[in-house]
Structure 1
Amino acid sequence: MMDKLRLVHYLRISSVALVFIWLFVHFAGGGDDHNRYTALFRQFRDERAVFVDDFLSHDVSGRFESDGIMSLCSGKRWTSGLVLTCDAVPGNMADVKNGVLTCIRIAIEMGAELILPNIMLRSTMDLGTVTPHDVGPRRGVPLEQFFDRPHLVNTLSDSCPQLKVHPSMDDFYNEPSMLTPFSLDLYKVPGVKVSANLKGSEGKVIDGKLGDLGKQIHGLLDNKAPRRDRKYPFHVDLRPTPSYALPAFADSPKVRNYFGRIMQVRPDLRALAGSVLFNLQKALGVTIDPRKGIDIDAFIAVELRTQHDPRKFPPYEVQASDALAFASASNMSHIYLTEGTLPEHVTTFADRARDFNFTVVTKEELVDGPDAFLLSQLSYDERFLVDYEVALRSGLFMGNGQSSFAWNVGLRREFAYGDKGAHDASHLNGAVRWFNQYSTLYGKDNVGDELRRGIWP
Structure 2
Amino acid sequence: MRHFEVAVSGKKGVFIQKALRTDIDGPFDDSTLAELCQNIEWREGLIIQCESPYGGVANIRNILLNCFRYAIEAGATSIVIPELKLWIPQNDRPNTPDPEPNAELQSRKESTAHVPFSHLFDLDFFKQSLGGACPQIKFIPHINDLYTVPSTQNPHPLDPGSLSPERLGEPFESLLSNPATWTNDFTIWLDNTNTKVSEKLPMRVTIKESLLHWPLNHDDSDFVSHFGRIIRPNPEIRTLASTILYTLSRKYNLRFNASEGIQANKYYGAHLRTGADAKAANWTTFEKQSQNYLQACKHNNLRVIYLVCTSEPDTQHFTSLAHTYAPHDIHVATAAHLLALHPSELSIYGGLSTASSLRSTRLSSPQRALVDYEVLLRSSVFGGTTESSFSWNVALRRHVVWGNGTWVPQMEDFVFDRGEFIRDRNARDAGVRGGPRRWVWWGRVSEF
Q: Is the TM-score greater than 0.5?
A: yes
Contact 1:85 1:116 in 2 (8 A): yes
Structure 1 residue matching 2:52: 3-state secondary structure: coil
Counting only pairs closer than 5 Å after superposition, residues 270-281 of structure 1 correspond to structure 2 as: 270-281=238-249
Which residue does the alignment assign to 2:297?
A: 327
Q: State whether structure 2 residue 190 is matched by structure 1 residue 205.
A: no
Displacement after TM superposition at 1:234 (Å): 1.0
CA distance in 2, matches of 1:142, 1:441: 37
Q: 1:145 to 1:196 in 2, by over 3 A?
A: farther
- Could you say what secondary structure the match of 1:336 adopts? strand
In the other structure, the counterpart of 1:287 is 255
CA offset at residue 271 of structure 1? 0.5
2:315 is aligned to 346
Which runs of no fewer than 5 residues in structure 1 stay unpaired? 1-44, 445-457
1:409 deviates by: 0.8
Q: Conserved in 1, the CA contact under 8 Å of 2:307 and 2:333?
A: yes
Please give the per-residue CA displacement for 1:304-361, whole angstroms capped at 9, x wherever unaligned: 1111236652121111111122212211111110143x11111111111111231111
Higher helix content, 1 or 2: 1
Partner of 1:115: 80
Unaligned runs of 5+ in 2: 1-8, 91-103, 351-361, 416-423, 431-435
> Matched residues in 2 for 1:260 and 1:352: separation?
37
In the alignment, is the contact (CA less than 8 A) between 1:92 and 1:381 conserved in 2?
Answer: yes
- Work out whether residues 410 and 440 of structure 1, in 8 Å CA contact, stay in contact via their aligned partners in 2: no
Letter in 1 for 2:380: G
What does residue range 152-191 of structure 1 map to in structure 2 within 5 Å?
152-191=126-165
CA distance in 2, matches of 1:243, 1:62: 27
Tell me how far apart the structure 2 counterparts of residues 208 and 390 of structure 1 sit (CA, whole Å).
36
Paired residue type of 1:412 = R
List per-residue Cα deviations over 1:358-402 (Å, max 9, x = no partner).
111111111122111110112222111001110111110011111
How far off its partner does 1:207 sit?
1.7
Aligned residues: 387
Which residue number corresponds to residue 221 of structure 1?
190
CA distance in 2, matches of 1:146, 1:154: 17
The reply to whether residue 358 of structure 1 matches residue 330 of structure 2 is yes
Which among 63, 86, 92 is matched to residue 56 of structure 2?
92
**Partner of residue 211, structure 2:** 243
Distance, in Å, in 2 between the alignment partners of 1:423 and 1:190 is 32
Per the alignment, residue 36 of structure 2 pairs with 72
Between the aligned residues of both structures, percent identity stands at 27
The corresponding residue for 2:396 is 411
**Is 1:48 aligned to 2:12, yes or no?**
yes
Partner of 2:101: none
SS at match of 2:42: coil
Q: Which amino acid aligns with 2:55?
A: G
Question: How far apart, CA to CA, are the structure 1 residues paired with 2:368 and 2:303?
Answer: 24
Pick from 248, 251, 262 the counterpart of residue 230 of structure 2: 262
- Whether the aligned pair in 2 keeps the contact of 1:300 and 1:395 (CA below 8 Å) is yes
**CA offset at residue 206 of structure 1?**
1.9
> Match of 2:347?
373
Match of 1:16 in 2: none
Q: Pick from 272, 278, 286 the counterpart of residue 316 of structure 1.
A: 286
For residue 47 of structure 2, give the secondary structure of its aligned residue in structure 1: strand
Shift of 1:116: 2.4
In 2, Cα distance between equivalents of 1:121 and 1:431: 39
Q: Which amino acid aligns with 2:390?
A: F
Higher RCO (Cα < 8 Å, 6 or more apart): 2
How many angstroms does 1:155 deviate by? 1.0
Structure 1 distance, partners of 2:440, 2:234, is 25
Q: Which moved more, 1:265-274 or 1:163-172?
A: 163-172
Deviation of the 1:193 alpha carbon:
3.2
Structure 1 pair 413/237, CA: closer, same or farther in 2 (3 Å)? same
**CA separation in 1, counterparts of 2:429 and 2:185?**
40
Shift of 1:227: 3.8
Q: Secondary structure at the match of 2:79?
A: strand
The answer to whether the Cα contact below 8 Å between 1:192 and 1:213 also exists between their aligned partners in 2 is no
Aligned equivalents of 1:120, 1:315: Cα separation in 2: 29
Does the aligned pair in 2 maintain the 1:337–1:362 contact within 8 Å? yes
Q: Quick one: distance in 1 between partners of 2:323 and 2:140?
A: 53
Question: What's the offset of the Cα at 1:100?
Answer: 1.1
Report what 1:57 is aligned to.
21
Amino acid at match of 1:413: R
Matches of 2:427 and 2:385, distance apart in 1 = 14
Distance 1:130 1:162, change over 3 A: farther
Q: Report SS of the residue matched to 2:283.
A: coil
Q: Of the two, which has the highest radius of gyration?
A: 1
1:379-398 alignment to 2 at 5 Å? Answer: 379-398=364-383
- SS state at 1:187 partner: helix
Q: Is the 8 A contact 1:301 1:336 kept in 2?
A: yes
Question: Using the alignment, how far apart are the partners of 2:188 and 2:334 within structure 1?
Answer: 52
Q: What residue identity is the alignment partner of 1:188?
A: S
Please tell me the residue identity of whatever aligns with 1:48.
K
Tell me which moved more, 73-82 or 173-182: 173-182
Structure 2 Cα separation of the partners of residues 50 and 219 of structure 1: 55
- Mapped to 1, the partners of 2:199 and 2:159 lie a distance apart of 19
Query: 1:439 offset after TM fit, Å?
Result: 6.2
2:147–2:153 CA contact under 8 A, matched in 1 = no
Paired with 1:195 and 1:128, the residues of 2 have a C-alpha distance of: 34
Secondary structure, aligned partner of 1:290: coil
Between stretches 291-300 and 228-237, larger displacement belongs to 228-237
**SS of corresponding position for 1:119:** strand
